[in-house]
Structure 1
Amino acid sequence: MNLAILLVILIVVLALIFTIVLAGKSDETYRNDTKRNTTNLTLIYIVVILLSFIAVGVYIRWFV
């Protein structure tokens, strides 16, 4: 169980890091045009991470 949780956390963190790194590698006009998209994607990651922690907490509280 702990291994699965660690793997999920690792995958989410790596996905976030790679998204930010790839968003930074572009020419200047592309970077300006996609700033809003990157912000939206980052907010989605934050919401998903928070919901995942809540789901794991609920699972542990009521099913383990």
Structure 2
Amino acid sequence: MQFLLEQAGAGHKRKRKTYPGELEYEWVCAEIDRLMKAFDERNRNQYVSQRVESLRQQFAEMMRILA
């Protein structure tokens, strides 16, 4: 990830001659966007899962108290 971010940053500062073996700037930017969206989605899903588990535990505790 750090490599991709550095590659994207390098493209903004100076124009480099691309060689066949090098990553293209547009591809690097697209890959950075894809990874950022994937990490955001994973973090959002993790938060929701933790919140659901917390609410389930609170509900179980309330049911235990009421019983």
TM-score by structure 2 length? 0.50
Counterpart of 1:19 in structure 2 is 7
Gaps of 5+ in 2: 52-67
Higher helix residue share = 1
Between 1 and 2, higher relative CO (CA 8 Å, sep ≥ 6) is seen in 2
Structure 1 residues 21, 60: closer, same or farther in 2, change over 3 A?
Answer: closer
User: Partners in 1 of 2:38 and 2:46 — Cα distance?
Assistant: 12
Structure 1 residues 39, 55: closer, same or farther in 2, change over 3 A?
Answer: same
User: Partners in 1 of 2:34 and 2:14 — Cα distance?
Assistant: 25
Displacement over 6 Å in runs of 4+: none
The letter for the 1-side match of 2:40 is F
Q: Which has the larger radius of gyration?
A: 2
Shift of 1:26: 4.5
* Alignment RMSD: 2.9
Structure 1 residues 21, 62: closer, same or farther in 2, change over 3 A?
Answer: closer
Gaps of 5+ in 1: 1-10
Identity %: 2
**CA offsets per residue over residues 7-49 of structure 1, 9 Å max, x none?**
xxxx86xx63x4334234245xx1xx36x70000000000000
